[in-house]
Amino acid sequence: AQSVTQPDIHITVSEGASLELRCNYSYGATPYLFWYVQSPGQGLQLLLKYFSGDTLVQGIKGFEAEFKRSQSSFNLRKPSVHWSDAAEYFCAVAADQDSGYALNFGKGTSLLVTP
């Protein structure tokens, strides 16, 4: 069965500092991986996705993520965090066709940005 682990429940960074959010997945085949962001009381917005090809993918809002098959990881990074990046971040892997390509989500990482 697929699973996604986000080891960090909360992360606090200073504005302007770099950020890395960790994501590990368990999946037998080539995974389809996603990072979503959620502001309080809102829906989810897609930051970036990995299907195949270049293992470093660029997303919106200056985010990037690197797929590392050997480590089963898909960590999210940003060189310089802005106060508006404070939100909940979710890593997800798409299930197979038998499950309608539904997403399996990690439990999320809450990002706090300090002045």
Partner 1 sequence: DGGITQSPKYLFRKEGQNVTLSCEQNLNHDAMYWYRQDPGQGLRLIYYSQIVNDFQKGDIAEGYSVSREKKESFPLTVTSAQKNPTAFYLCASSLGYEQFFGPGTRLTVL
- Residue 44 within binding range of partner 1, rule CB under 8 A: yes
Binding piece for partner 1, criterion CB under 8 A, among 15-23, 56-64, 67-75, 96-104: 96-104
Among 19, 22, 32, 66, binds partner 1 (CB under 8 A): 32
- Residue 106 within binding range of partner 1, rule CB under 8 A: yes
- Residue 59 within binding range of partner 1, rule CB under 8 A: no
Contact 69, 24 (CB under 8 A): no
CA distances 90 to 21, 54, 72, 94, 115, Å, are 10, 21, 16, 13, 24
In the complex, least distance from residue 88 CB atom to partner 1, rounded to whole angstroms: 10
Among 49, 62, 66, 73, binds partner 1 (CB under 8 A): 49
- Residue 103 within binding range of partner 1, rule CB under 8 A: yes
Contact 60, 37 (CB under 8 A): no
- Residue 14's Cα: distance from chain center in Å? 20
Size of the site for partner 1 (CB under 8 A): 23
Query: What is the chain's alpha carbon radius of gyration, rounded to the nearest angstrom?
Result: 14
